């Protein structure tokens, strides 16, 4: 199930979940973070927007006049989106701001602008509808697993966590193949 990052600590400490996944080291002292895999960030844009955009020196610069879809709050993706938008000279005004990455992607899919997505999301985009442009100018983003320090995950969850790095590496290498 999906829970918001603000709910993770309570869910882990009350054992309503065995583990969580997230794109940052968890700040709570009673929650342990373990690195699973790292990967590049991608600029996501609808194919229809990309083909209409004027050609430019860099793929990201091609979208300088296309609205950016930003995230609000402390979402780990917010900083990456804002950094790329600033480099492109995209107006810093409110523009489109949404609460979730899922909503941002839905708006991108509808041709309303572009956003930045993580390496896992990029592998799931429909290539006929969406384009994912790797952003070499941003540092890689890491995916972590979290569990309560005092209550390590049970055997089934431990087995699942042991499989995750291999599965994630295969998924990422399938994208580059």
For 174, residues 6+ apart whose C-beta sits below 8 A from its C-beta are 123
Question: 122: closest CA among 40, 51, 66?
Answer: 40
pLDDT digits (tens, 9 = 90+) for 29-62: 999 999 998 888 899 999 999 998 888 877 767 8
- Contact between 38 and 141 (Cβ < 8 Å): yes
Report the pLDDT value the prediction gives residue 176, as an integer from 0 to 100. Answer: 55
- Contact between 144 and 34 (Cβ < 8 Å): yes
Q: Which residue has the higher pLDDT, 52 or 1?
A: 52
- Angle of CA points 46, 79, 172, to nearest 5°: 55
Rounded mean pLDDT of 98-108? Answer: 90
| pLDDT reading at 68 higher than 70 | yes
pLDDT digits (tens, 9 = 90+) for 109-150: 999 999 989 898 998 899 999 999 998 888 888 999 999 999
- Contact between 142 and 21 (Cβ < 8 Å): no
- Tokens 């005004």: give the residue: 93
Burial of 135 (0-12, 13-18, 19+ CB in 10 A): buried
d(CA 85, CA 165): 31
| pLDDT reading at 94 higher than 70 | no
Report the pLDDT value the prediction gives residue 90, as an integer from 0 to 100. Answer: 66
Most confident of 11-15, 85-89, 134-138: 11-15
- Contact between 154 and 170 (Cβ < 8 Å): no
| Average pLDDT of the chain to the nearest whole number | 86
Judged by average pLDDT, the poorest of 1-5, 56-60, 103-107, 173-177 is 173-177
Q: Which residue has the higher pLDDT, 77 or 93?
A: 77
| pLDDT reading at 92 higher than 60 | no
Tokens of 96: 């489109």
d(CA 131, CA 50): 8
Residue 115 phi/psi, 5° resolution? -150, 180
- pTM of the complete model: 0.81
């Amino acid at each position: 199930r999906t829970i918001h990052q603000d709910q993770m600590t309570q869910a882990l400490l009350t054992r309503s979940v065995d583990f969580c996944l997230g794109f940052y080291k968890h700040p709570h002292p009673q929650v342990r973070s373990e690195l699973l895999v790292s990967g590049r960030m991608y600029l996501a844009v609808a194919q229809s927007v990309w083909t209409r955009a004027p050609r430019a020196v860099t793929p990201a610069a091609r979208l300088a006049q296309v609205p950016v879809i930003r995230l609000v709050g402390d979402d780990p993706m917010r900083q990456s989106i804002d950094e790329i938008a600033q480099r492109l000279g995209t107006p810093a005004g409110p523009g489109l701001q949404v609460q979730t990455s899922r909503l941002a992607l839905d708006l991108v899919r509808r041709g309303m602008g572009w956003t930045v997505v993580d390496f896992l999301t990029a592998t799931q985009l429909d290539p006929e509808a969406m384009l994912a442009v790797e952003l070499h100018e941003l540092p890689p983003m890491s995916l972590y697993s979290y569990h309560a320090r005092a209550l390590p995950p049970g055997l089934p969850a431990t087995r699942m966590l042991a499989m995750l790095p291999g599965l994630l590496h295969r998924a990422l290498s399938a994208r580059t193949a």
